[in-house]
Amino acid sequence: MTAAHDPPILCSTDPSRLLPVNFNFDNRFINELPGDPEEGPRRRQVHGACWSRVLPTPVVAPRLLAWSPEVANLLDLSAEEVASAEFAEVFAGNRQLPGMRPYAACYGGHQFGNWAGQLGDGRAINLGEAINHAGQRWDLQLKGAGPTPYARRADGRAVLRSSIREFLCSEAMHHLGVPTTRALSLMATGEPVLRDMMYDGNPRHEPGAVVCRVAPSFIRFGNFEIPSSRGDLELLAGLVDFTLARDFPEIVGDDLNDKRARWFAEVCARTARMVAHWMRVGFVHGVMNTDNMSILGLTIDYGPYGWIDNYDPDWTPNTTDEENRRYRFGQQAQIAHWNLSRLAQALEPLFPAAEPLRAGLDCFVQVFIEEHSRMMAAKFGIAAPRDGDGELIAEALGLLQQAEVDMTLFFRALALVEPSAPSLEPLREAFYREDPMRRHEAAFHAWLARYGERIRAAGEPPEARRDRMNAVNPRYVLRNYLAQEAIDLAEQGDLSRVHELLEVMRRPYDEQPEYARHAGKRPDWARNQPGCSMLSCSS
């Protein structure tokens, strides 16, 4: 395969050539679930159906900007096939391959705590479910492919900046070990898109783009909420049992109520593990509406996301959420539980009693506490947690917040602290400002003394501890300012930084000294600059 940082490939649009790849599509979602009798993108309320037939809107000049070799490999695509002109035609939405049956899914959702009614795939179009040579199912979805019945008043398009963020973050999260949807390709469309990025009455035309997202399933909590809200229990039951059969084949048995109960508990457990991983790496989703929650426990819909720079549990990257901070970093577990409660509410008509649903919600709490505690202990280099460790960890996190310390840099540097003679020196580069550091220096020294004593008591060789910590504490995360730098260059036609970041984020736990500049803390100029700190929900 070609390197991930090769120059972008200019693709032709010759309609006489066919893509030299054979996908095996079985498309169970649309084959086994009822669809909308009307085709096309006319905006409408869709009842009694899980999907609507709609084709991507062709673009004038599809061009491949970047691609993921790992995802291409999952789909049995060679580098030569990805580099073909036909690949750009298909994955920008200009052409469909045999077996593709494009559609947009119908779902609803709670947005910022309020029921929003029908939402659906407003600018995402599923191409089909491909089965690879290993028998794995991969749903291919184009984001920014044009209007659908669920686009409401929008144009169904996406701009380059948000598409770069989604493409890079999908792959960065995977390599960090966080459950996530993936991204195959990033395409330029050659067409401008009008957006008001900051909602301040100053829209501007921006370059358009399309991302091909890849996941075993794109079913969300909201897919179940919409039929339940309408009292369509036949459709709701059909969707639940379809999801059980296709996406959770390990849940077997003759008792349907028992299978549904175990399924809901599994959804709760997967969601808990996902959020625990978010907390481990300092990721903030930013828009945890129920329509943005995957039934598989995958991170989905990379909108106004961000990584914690200076540790702050109250930080949100979403300008729309700036006042109430509903989706702030430190509240993500509570919001996930609330969202699961809304899913339970939607499913309740299918259960003879509410107890299995309450048990599932309790499962979320238990799994999150266990996973979060285990991951945080690992971040601090504690191999065998014991009583008192929680207080030690909580005190450290409090100091990080008070002294404005970079989360990623602190944990990476903590592995360098010598337990026999703990010093603040390895940690100094993680502080953003001198004054808070001096004010809290004595408290840090006192904490380090207790920390050193705790680590020495474990009797682990320093090298083993350091290796364990470096395996869970990334050296590199996709900070917003790094993505913005790549976007600024890309909008000028220079994709080099996009390719470079994709390469760096493929090995986030390695030192990679040649890319050390990407491991630094957020520069002062990026503290309040749009795109470098908070983001809007605008595409």
Active-site annotation, residues: 291
Please name the residues in contact with 347: beta carbons below 8 A apart, sequence gap of 6 or more: 224, 228, 236, 240, 260, 264, 357
Q: How many residues does the chain have?
A: 539
**What is the rounded distance in angstroms from the CA atom of residue 110 to the CA atom of residue 478?**
28
Between the alpha carbon of residue 240 and those of residues 20, 40, 349, the distances in Å are: 37, 26, 12
Contact 102, 127 (CB under 8 A): yes
Residue entry with tokens 């209007």: 147
Backbone angles phi, psi at 188, to 5 degrees: -85, 145
**What is the rounded distance in angstroms from the CA atom of residue 154 to the CA atom of residue 121?**
11
Please name the residues in contact with 418: beta carbons below 8 A apart, sequence gap of 6 or more: 452, 462
**What is the rounded distance in angstroms from the CA atom of residue 72 to the CA atom of residue 288?**
29
Strand pairing report for 283-284 and 204-215: unpaired
* DSSP code string of 18-76: --S----B--HHHHHS-B-SS-SS------S-SEEE-PPPP-S--EEEEE-HHHHHHTT
**Cα-atom radius of gyration of the chain, to the nearest Å?**
24
Assigned token pair, 439? 């004010």
CA 234 to chain centre: 31
Question: Can you state the angle between helices 480-490 and 160-176, rounded to 10 degrees?
Answer: 140
Strand-pairing partners, residue 185, are 67, 212
Strand pairing report for 103-105 and 51-53: antiparallel
507: number of Cβ within 10 Å: 14
HSE of 263, CA atoms in CB hemisphere, 13 A? 28
Assigned token pair, 356? 């299995």
